[in-house]
């Protein structure tokens, strides 16, 4: 079973502040890194898929970076809004010699934006 | 359909009974994933299908769990002799290029074992 670490586990941020959190994963057999946003009572929705070392992706106020050599990714939210409250999940897609390992999700960072 | 469809949306079953959960992926998606979310927990990987390759079953928690997929179509997850600890939301997702593109999730099946 793949070890995917996300930190912090939960985060309270004031509306308007910027924030970031981390995803760590094994750097060997790496194919891609996914970020998803999971709102209560809904299903996870994709934010980004990144494949190359040094990749940076941006969608509105949310951006992500990727370091495949050291096995980590950061997600940044600029000027947090109440609608950003959700659990943010990362999932590396790894490929081992015996077959594809698929998408293994971390436990997520639970973000709460306080008005 | 336009998205990933799962059925039933809710299932209550008695301990010891078998249940079958169904997932209809987005048409053309070669990759299909099953996950489980127990109360208060994260997404637990169960099984991964990619095209006609042998599935990665490394996440199945016991031999009571099995899953099938014919080609790139519907998948069924079967749980035999259900136990109370099997109560969870079972989520299915599909994608069209293995791990290089985003996965789209269904709305899940909430399984309650009483």
Q: What angle is formed at CA A23 by the lines to CA A112 and CA A60, rounded to 5 degrees?
A: 60
- Of B67, B85, B76, B92, nearest to B21 by C-alpha is B76
CB-based contact, B99 to chain A, within 8 Å: yes
Which pLDDT band, with edges at 50, 70 and 90, does A5 fall under? very high
**Residue A68 pLDDT more than 80?**
yes
CB-based contact, B56 to chain A, within 8 Å: yes
The first and second tokens of residue A94, run together, are 């790894």
CB contact at 8 A, A6 and A23: yes
How close, in Å, is residue A69 to chain B by CA atoms?
A: 18
8 Å CB contact of A49 and B101: yes
Write down the pLDDT at residue A99. Answer: 52
The residue of chain B with its CA nearest to that of A35 is B102
Q: Alpha-carbon distance A42 to A34, whole Å?
A: 18
CB-based contact, A41 to chain B, within 8 Å: no
Write down the pLDDT at residue A30. Answer: 84
Residue spans of alpha helices (H) in A42-94:
none
DSSP three-state, residue A25: coil
More confidently predicted of A111 and A31? A111
pLDDT string in tens for chain B (114-residue length): 579 999 999 999 999 999 999 999 999 999 999 999 999 888 999 998 988 888 888 889 999 999 999 888 899 999 999 999 999 999 999 998 778 899 999 999 999 999
Q: Which residues contact B45 (CB under 8 A, 6 or more apart)?
A: A1, A102, A103, A104, A105, B33, B35, B58, B59
Write down the pLDDT at residue A101. Answer: 64
Q: What angle is formed at CA B28 by the lines to CA B24 and CA B31, rounded to 5 degrees?
A: 70
Q: How far is CA A79 from the centre of its chain?
A: 18
DSSP state letters, B64-77: TEEEEE-TTS-EEE
CB contact at 8 A, B35 and B46: yes
Ramachandran class of B44: left when φ > 0, alpha when ψ lies in -120 to 50, beta otherwise: beta
Which value, in Å, is the radius of gyration of the alpha carbons in chain B?
A: 13
Question: What are the phi and psi torsion angles at B86 (to 5°)?
Answer: -80, -10
**Over pLDDT 70: what percentage of chain A?**
94
- Of B65, B30, B25, B27, nearest to B45 by C-alpha is B65
8 Å CB contact of A1 and B53: no
């Amino acid at each position: 079973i793949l070890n995917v670490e996300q930190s912090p586990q939960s985060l309270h941020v004031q509306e308007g502040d910027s924030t970031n959190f981390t995803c760590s994963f094994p750097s060997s057999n790496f194919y891609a890194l996914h970020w998803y946003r999971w709102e209560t009572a809904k299903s996870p929705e994709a934010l980004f898929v990144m494949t190359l070392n040094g990749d940076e992706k941006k969608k509105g106020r949310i951006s992500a970076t990727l370091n495949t050599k050291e096995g980590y990714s950061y997600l940044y939210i600029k000027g947090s809004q109440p609608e950003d409250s959700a659990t943010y999940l990362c999932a590396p897609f790894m490929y081992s010699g015996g077959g594809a390992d698929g998408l293994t999700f971390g436990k997520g960072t639970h973000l709460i934006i306080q008005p | 359909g336009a998205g990933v469809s799962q059925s039933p949306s809710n299932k209550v079953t008695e301990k010891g009974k078998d249940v079958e959960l169904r997932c209809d992926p987005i048409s053309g998606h070669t990759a299909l994933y099953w996950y489980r979310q127990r109360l208060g927990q994260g997404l637990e990987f169960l099984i991964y299908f990619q095209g006609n390759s042998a599935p990665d079953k490394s996440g199945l928690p016991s031999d009571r769990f099995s899953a099938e997929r014919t080609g790139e179509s519907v998948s069924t997850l079967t749980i035999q002799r259900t136990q109370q600890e099997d109560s969870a939301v079972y989520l299915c997702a599909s994608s069209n290029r293995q791990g290089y593109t985003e996965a789209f999730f269904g709305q899940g099946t909430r399984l309650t074992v009483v």
